[in-house]
Amino acid sequence: MIPPEFVSAVGGHPIVADILWQRGYTTIEGARAFMHPDLYIPAAPEQLPGMREAVARLRAAIEHAEPIHVWGDFDVDGQTSTSLLVLGLRGRGAAVDYTIPNRARHSHGLNKEGIKQARDGGARVLLTCDCGVTDFDEIAFAQQIGLDVIVSDHHDLGARLPDVHAVVNPKRLPPDHPLADLPGVGVAFLLMQGLYEVLAGSGGDGERGRAGEGALLDLVALGIVADVANQTGDTRYLLQRGLARLRANPRPGIRALLRMANVDLANLSADTIGFQIGPRLNAVGRLDDAALSVELLTTQDEARANELAAKVEALNQERKVLQRRVEEEAFRQLAQDPGAERQPMIVLASQSWHPSVLGVVASAITNRYNKPAILISAQAGAVGRASGRSVRGIDIHAAITAQGDLIETSGGHPMAAGFAIRYENVAAFRAGVNQYVAAHQSGVAPVDDQPEAQLAWRDVSLSLCDDLERLAPFGPGNPRPLLRSNGLKPVRVDPLGREGRHQAVIFQDESGRQQRALWWRSNGQPLPDQCDLVYTLQRNVHRGKAQVQVQVARIETMGQVERLPGLAGEQYRIVDGRAAGDQLAELGRLRQEYGDANVQVWEEGVEKRADGLTRLQLQPAAVLAIMSSPPGPDELADALQRARPQTVVLLTEPPLPSQDRVENVIAWVSGMVKTSEQRHDSLDDPAVIARMAARIGHSEAAIRAGIACHRAQQAHDADLGAAAFVKIEHILGNTRGYRAYFQAAKAEEVLRIPDPE
C-alpha cells in the first residue's frame, strides 16, 4: 500500500505516484529529485576513474600553451563530444584542433594517418572522446611520435586498459554507480566540469556544473538521446538540464536545424532529438564528413549555421532514400525466406546495400520482430561492413566477438555493434551467431512489458498526459508508462502508411466513450470484437492544436476476430491518366460515368485547369481526381485521408517551372501576407498558414519560409533575408524533386502513403 502522504507529496493524478513507487522511488525526497533536477545531487566529476590525472594534464597544457588535439567519432555522440570539448577547452584559453574520422575511409576510432597529421600540426596532447579505449596500436604510435594521450570513452573495456596518461571511462565504475551509464558526451562534460572547477579553484560547493560549462548542456542532451543511453542516475539529470537549456537558448546551429525540421521550440522533447535532430546529424556522419556537424554545432555565425543546416537537411533527404531502399529489400528477403525470422537472431546480407544505413534498418527490423538483427553489406571477394541492434537481455557485441575467427574488426556495446567481415564468411557467421544466441537465451531476463496502471477509458485526457509528462524525459531506463484499459470494442479501423502497415483504431468502452489509438506496425492485422488494450499516452501538437495520442503497445483478445469498416476496403483502385492527351476531357468522362456528386477534383496552385478543390476543401467521395502534383508526401496523405476515395485517378501534367520558382513563391506569399494583415488574421495561426499553403499548392514549411523572406525584405535585414532564402530554396528544391517523382513513377508507387518519420 502506497502511503497517502507519498501520493499527496507527488501530487497530480494518483497514477504518477503509483508508477514512481513501482519504479523504486519510494521516498518523497527520491521521487521529487527524480522529477525536479534542481533537487537532485549529482556525483562529483572526480568520481570518474582517471579524472584527476586527465584534468591535471589538460590544465598543464593550457598553462604552458601546449596545443590539444581532440579526436572524436562520426556518430552524434562523437559529434557532440567533440564539439563540447572544443568549445569547453577554447573557453579556457586552450589552443584546440580536432579530427573526426571519415566513416567510409577510416571507420571508427583512431588511425595513424590522422594522428601523424595532428602531431605535424603542432599537437602535444591527444584527447579522445567516444573512442580509444581499445585502440592499443594507434595509441602506441601516438606516444612514439611524442603525444601525451588522454582517453575519454564509454565503450566496453578490453582485456586491459591502454597505457596512457589517463583513461576516463564510466565502465570502470560499478554498474549501479550514478555515473555508470554516461555516454561519451556525458564523460566529456564531466571532464570539462572537473577542469573548470580546478581552474576556478572551486572546492565543489554544491554549485557544481552551474558555471560556464552549463552552456554546453544542450550538446549533452543531443548526445544522450541520440546514443540511446540508459537514462538513470546522472545521465537522466544531465538530460533534464540539457533539455531545459535547449528550450531556453539553443545555439545557432541547433536553432537552424530546428527550423529545418519545423520544430516548435516550446514542444521540444527527447522525442524531438530522437526523431528529428539525431537522424539529421547522423546522416552527416554516414554520408559525408562529420566535421561539418562539428562546425554547425560550434559556430556562432547565424548565416553560416543556416547554410550548414541546409547541407545537413540535403544529406538527411539522401539518407531517407538510401534507408528506404535497404529497408524494402531487407523485408523482401524476410518475406521470401520465412525461416530467417524464426532464427534467434535475424542476419541478412546483400552485395548492394549502402553501408551507411545498415544500423538504422537493423533497428527497424529489431523493433518489428522484437529480436536482435544484423545487416551485412559485402561484395564477393571483399571485406564488407555490418551493423546490428539488439533487444534487452541479449548482448549483441558478445555474440559478434564470439565469432572472432570469422570477422576482421568489431566494436560496440550490448545493444548495438558494428564489425567488418569478408563476404565468404557470411554464411558461417550467420550460423555461428545464431548458435551463440540460442545457447545464451536461457539466461535472458524477460522484457518487462507489464502495464504499470489500470485506467478507465473515460479517464484518458490531455490533463492526464500532462501529469505523466512529469516523469519525462522517457527512454531506456525510464520508459514511457504502459497503461491498460479493459473491455474495449474496436468500432473503426483505418490503415495508415505504406501498404497499410499501420492502423488508426477507434476504441469504445461500455458507456460509448470513444478514443482514437495508433497501432504502429500492425501490418493489417484483423481486430477482435472485444479486447483489453495496453498502450502509452502522450500529448501531441498538430498544427497548433493539442490532442491526446494513444499508442497501442499490444491488444489482448477476448473474442473472435472480425474485419472492421476501413478506408475504402483498405485499398484504392488506381486509374493512371497522366499520359492522356486531354486530361480535361478525361475528367469529363469520369463525371459522366460516376456522376458529378461522386467525383472530387483536387487541384491547387495559382494557375488551375479545372477549378478544383484545395486539400482543405476535400470531403469523402467515391472518386478523387488529382489534377496537380502534390508538393510532398505529407500533403498527399492528408488529401487521401480527407477524401477517403475508393478510386483515385491521376490526371496530372508535368508542373510548370514557374510554380516552384523561389521568386514567385515569395511574391505569392507576400501578397497573401498583406491580405491577411488587412483581414487582421494572425500569421501565428496554423489555420491561416494551412490555407495559404493549400491556396498556392505548397507545403506549410514553404509558407513559413516565405513569410520569413517577406519580413526580412520589409525590415531590410540582409542577413535574415539570406538565411530565409537558403531555407525556402532548399524546401522548394525538395518540392520540385517530389513533383518530378510523382509525375514519372508508377502510379501504385506514388500513391503509397509514406510512413510517419
Q: Which of 159, 336, 262 is nearest to 699 (CA)?
A: 262
Peptide bond connecting 473 to the previous residue in cis, omega within 30 degrees of 0 = yes
Q: Which residues pair with 374 in a beta bridge?
A: 347, 388
Answer whether residue 720 shows pLDDT above 80.
no
Nearest to 743 by CA among 640, 624, 659, 650: 650
Residues of the chain with CATH 3.90.1640.30: 45-215
Q: What per-residue confidence (pLDDT) applies to 525?
A: 72
Instruction: Quote the pLDDT of residue 572.
Output: 62
CA pair distance 97, 68, nearest whole angstrom: 7
Residue 441: its pLDDT value, please? 67
| pTM (two decimals) | 0.72
| Consecutive H or E run containing 191 | helix 184-200
Contact 537, 492 (CB under 8 A): no
223/416 Cα distance (integer angstroms): 15
337-443 adopts what CATH topology? Diaminopimelate Epimerase; Chain A, domain 1 (3.10.310)
Q: Give, for 407, the enclosing helix (H) or strand (E).
A: strand 407-413
- Is the pLDDT confidence value at 116 over 70? yes
Return the CATH fold of 477-568. OB fold (Dihydrolipoamide Acetyltransferase, E2P) (2.40.50)
Could you tell me where in the chain the CATH 2.40.50.460 domains are found? Answer: 477-568
Q: Could you give the CA distance from residue 623 to residue 604 in angstroms, rounded to a whole number?
A: 17
Asked if residue 385 has pLDDT above 60, the reply is: yes
Within the chain, all domains assigned CATH 3.10.310.30 are found at: 337-443
> DSSP E strands: which ranges in 509-598?
514-519, 527-528, 531-542, 545-557, 561-562, 573-576
Query: Does CATH number 3.90.1640.30 belong to domain 45-215?
Result: yes
Which tops the pLDDT comparison, 598 or 465? Answer: 465
Taking only the tens place, the pLDDT of each residue in 322-339 is 998 998 899 889 888 878
Q: What is the pLDDT of residues 665-705, one digit of tens each?
A: 999 999 999 988 888 888 888 888 999 999 999 999 999 99
